[in-house]
Chain A
Amino acid sequence: MADLEYFKLSKPQKMLRGIGSFFARIPQGIVNGLKKLAQLVVSLFKGLGANIADLFTTFKNGDWKTRLSYLVMGFGSCARGQWGRGILFFLFQTVFNVYMFMPNAEFSGCYYLGKLSTLGTVETYKQGRKTVYGDNSFFILLYGVLTIFFIIAFIYTWRVNIKQNKINEQLLKSGHKLKTAKDDLDSLRDEQFHKTMLALPTLGVTVFTILPIFFMILVAFTNFDATHQPPGKLFTWVGWDNFNQLLAMDSASYGDTFRHVLLWTLIWAFFATFLNYFLGMLVAIMINKKGIKLKKMWRTILVMTIAIPQFVSLLYVSKMFAADGLVNTYLMKWGWISSPLPFWTDPVWARVTIIVINVWIGIPYLMLIATGILMNIPADLYESARIDGANAFQMYRKITLPYMLFVTGPYLLTSFTGNINNFNVIFLLSGGKPLSLDLAGGAGHTDLLITWLYKMTVNDTNYKLAAVIGILVFVVTAVINLIVYNMIPSVKNEEDFQ
């Protein structure tokens, strides 16, 4: 449709078109995301191919020092006088070899790698009074994963070692000098400064985030739960069974509960994001309005809810609304109600109460954000609008709202996904209650996926389903992000801000 035609439409028609094109673009967004993924895979394989080819040519054209480095890492570096690098390479290789082929087979990498396909076959059993421990599936899985990580790191380092040989050979041929150990150290403070800064954080994230996530993804494909707990019992691979259980369409298994919880998670995230957004903006506009005094005081009062640790404020508020809490007892004392209102015992009441209390938590935060942005809106926009006779509401709709939406678009997205994972509010307020016999896995009517996951882990020790839920939360978040990002026409260009 041409622009001209678009302007001829009436308001409702325009809105309809807007909504229509929003949904029309969803498939496009998905396709774009898939395309990017495919490109990524292709480039990955191309890079791999180029690397392997390079390995062959380096071997063919290299001298004996280079060739020997294929076997003994760091040999070439040492032979060419770069002792520091050479020794580090060699040490790494030694550590790797010792770990993989340790004489005490129980602890070697090869042992765990070999058992990874079954996760252990020897059951723990009792011989008289003594317990004879068999295989420990948990260890096998964990150290198996560790070994795989280690092997990948080894291959990478080995590749770097060969690349260095190639570069050094070329440098020497063209008459350059090689870098000394001192040069290397100096460069860590200059050209390679990013390595210095990122080394520790990368190590931390690898050990405490990437490795655990990888492990848990694998757990989703095992039967690791209360009845298969090492060291007493073994667990093993079960393929997609757990996913089938959770996504099943019949009501007998976890499928119904999962859909119920997912639906509430999305409803909750929607309200928690947008209700807070608009109310917070409204409050910011009120406080910032010309002629309102004591701006700072109003802000500070609201900000109190951010300052006070949530476990104090939310736990207290949760007790305020309990059947014997202040709200109910006072309402009864004043004779407004005869029996306590079911704030936490009726599913609908509980959900509404949570959303309302969350407004209490969320408004201050959005008020602060909106205040910052409102101050950036050029004042002359409002001035000219006022001269043209616009009233407050029109100015809000034509200036404030579009500007806010434009600037905070990405924030809305992160806030939505953040709310999907908003553990604290639900856990401290209702703990997922009220519980229901219709729901499996100890889930309650106000449980989000994330609190359900928590219950699965802590109460039921049903690790396999917890892992599946975790993965599904990831999928939901990723899909929402991909779609929205691909629908925003110009993906933010990072360098533009600088």
Chain B
Amino acid sequence: MSEKNKIPEVDIVIDQEAGVIREVKPDKLRSKKGHERRVNTSIYVTLVLMSIIWLAPFVFLVFQSFRSYLTESGGMVNYLLPKQWSLDNYTWLLTDPSSDFLRWYGNTLIIALFCSVLQTFMVLSVSYALSRLRFKGRKLIMNVVLVLGMFPGFLTMIILYFLLRQLGLTQDGAVPGLILIYVASSGMGYYISKGFFDTIPKSLDESARIDGATRSQVFRLIIMPLAKPIVIYTILMAFMAPWGDYVFASYVAFGSKPNYNVAVGLYQWVNVNDYQGYFTRFCAGGVLVAVPVTVLFLALQKYYVEGVTGGAVKG
């Protein structure tokens, strides 16, 4: 009830901006404060409820991953908390000879690492060229990319598969094949980083050019050091995408189990195999995939937020 004491016991309020004196009844002020508090309380209630809804599936996932495979069931059961907590599923994933999980994990990690380097290189060169260099055909390139982007990505799946097969990059070569597919067209996703480059003042380039720097020097020595946030954003996105790709990964690695990525492997556990036996293993695998990616993402959250907000505003 200390709030009450703060309310001034006056009935005249001077509105400086409008230059008028208004009469305000003290009880009206008080009710306004009360209203404010009620609003805040209901917001807190909503936010707490939302937090529960948003976190629940992940908490459940973790719970179920710790359910004992040996003494309980590995499938879906009608209770949430394991009767016996154990690391059965994790041990199976990581040590059992019939589990390909470590292999899949390695595949995905390799793809993600290569993509984060190569894709960043592609995206940054395209966005830099389109944002800060002026040349004939620039608008044309942007329009062509816009039109190409309107075709659904999976349309070309068979032909890409065929191209990769000609190069020997399917099944056993699925990992380099996928890297090639992801990287080759990644230049088309230049929008967000171009938006970022657009915001760096042009006068910087111009003064460097007057001092005799070439355009490539401007890029390397002037702009790149300023572009740290967008570089990190691009790396982050390129690193995270391969973890979730199912479609191309399953198509390119078709039938060759050791060359799956985690998404394909785990998806098939849940949907193709008898998932009743693999459900808790899926949960454990999901936890192992989600934890490092999530930690990385949350650590770099700031850059992600800058990227999406900048990108959305610029359209």
Q: Are B154 and A360 in contact (CB under 8 A)?
A: no
Contact pick for B152, options A142, A202, A291, A474, CB 8 Å: A474
B residues in contact with A320, CB < 8 Å: 57, 60
A residues in contact with B155, CB < 8 Å: 212-213, 216, 453, 466-467, 470, 473
Query: Which residues 256-307 of A have a CB within 8 angstroms of B?
Result: 283, 286-287, 289, 291-292, 298, 300-307
B residues in contact with A329, CB < 8 Å: 77-79
B residues in contact with A325, CB < 8 Å: 76
Query: Which residues 2-33 of B have a CB within 8 angstroms of A?
Result: 15, 17-18
- Known contacts A142-B159, A301-B54, A303-B298: A291-B40 contact under CB 8 Å: yes
Q: Are B148 and A209 in contact (CB under 8 A)?
A: yes
Please give me the residue from chain A that is nearest to B48 by CB atom.
A298
Q: Are A197 and B152 in contact (CB under 8 A)?
A: no
Contact pick for B309, options A291, A316, A372, CB 8 Å: A372
A residues in contact with B17, CB < 8 Å: 384, 387
Q: Are A497 and B199 in contact (CB under 8 A)?
A: yes
Main secondary structure of the interface of A (DSSP, over half): helix
A335 within 8 A of B: no
- Closest chain B CB from A263 CB (angstroms): 18
A419 within 8 A of B: no
Q: Beta-carbon contacts of B100-139 to A below 8 Å, as 1s and 0s? A: 0000000000000000000000100110110001010010
Q: For the complex, what is the distance from the CA of A283 to the CA of B188, rounded to whole Å?
A: 32
Q: Are A407 and B309 in contact (CB under 8 A)?
A: no
Contact pick for B133, options A194, A202, A315, A478, CB 8 Å: A194
How big is chain B's contact interface, by range? 35 or more
- Known contacts A205-B148, A301-B51, A492-B315: A453-B154 contact under CB 8 Å: yes
Q: For the complex, what is the distance from the CA of A371 to the CA of B251, rounded to whole Å?
A: 39
A residues in contact with B217, CB < 8 Å: 189
Q: Are A201 and B294 in contact (CB under 8 A)?
A: no
> Which residue of B155, B158, B217, B308 has the most chain A CB atoms within 10 A of its CB atom?
B155
Please give me the residue from chain B that is nearest to A311 by CB atom.
B263
Q: Are A198 and B266 in contact (CB under 8 A)?
A: no
A207 within 8 A of B: yes
A residues in contact with B180, CB < 8 Å: 208
Main secondary structure of the interface of B (DSSP, over half): helix
- Closest chain A CB from B180 CB (angstroms): 8
Q: Are B216 and A190 in contact (CB under 8 A)?
A: yes
Q: Are A190 and B313 in contact (CB under 8 A)?
A: no
- Known contacts A198-B129, A304-B55: A315-B154 contact under CB 8 Å: no
- Known contacts A194-B135, A213-B151: A423-B181 contact under CB 8 Å: no
Q: For the complex, what is the distance from the CA of A194 to the CA of B133, rounded to whole Å?
A: 7
Contact pick for A302, options B50, B125, B198, CB 8 Å: B50
B residues in contact with A322, CB < 8 Å: 76
Q: Beta-carbon contacts of A178-215 to B below 8 Å, as 1s and 0s? A: 00000000100111011011101110110111111101
B226 within 8 A of A: no
In this complex, how many residues of chain A approach chain B with their Cβ under 8 Å: the count is: 103
- Closest chain A CB from B132 CB (angstroms): 9
A residues in contact with B46, CB < 8 Å: 286
A109 within 8 A of B: no
B282 within 8 A of A: yes
Q: Are A193 and B216 in contact (CB under 8 A)?
A: yes
Query: Which residues 257-277 of B have a CB within 8 angstroms of A?
Result: 263, 266-267, 270-271, 275
- Known contacts A191-B215, A215-B159, A315-B282: A204-B76 contact under CB 8 Å: no
Contact pick for B247, options A202, A387, A454, A470, CB 8 Å: A454
Contact pick for A457, options B61, B154, B198, CB 8 Å: B154
Q: Are A409 and B315 in contact (CB under 8 A)?
A: yes
A residues in contact with B85, CB < 8 Å: none
Q: Are A478 and B154 in contact (CB under 8 A)?
A: no
Please give me the residue from chain B that is nearest to A141 by CB atom.
B159
Q: Beta-carbon contacts of A458-483 to B below 8 Å, as 1s and 0s? A: 10000100110010011001100100
Stretch touching chain A among B88-96, B168-176, B227-235, B238-246: B238-246
- Known contacts A193-B219, A309-B240, A453-B154: A373-B313 contact under CB 8 Å: yes
Contact pick for A411, options B157, B282, B312, CB 8 Å: B312
Query: With A213-B156, A303-B298 given, can you name 4 additional A-B contacts, CB distance below 8 Å?
Result: A193-B129, A298-B51, A307-B294, A410-B315
Q: Which 10 A-B pairs have the closest CB atoms?
A: A410-B315, A372-B309, A201-B187, A470-B155, A212-B156, A204-B184, A329-B78, A307-B297, A208-B184, A312-B286
Give 6 CB contacts A-B under 8 Å: A189-B215, A208-B180, A209-B184, A303-B301, A309-B293, A453-B154
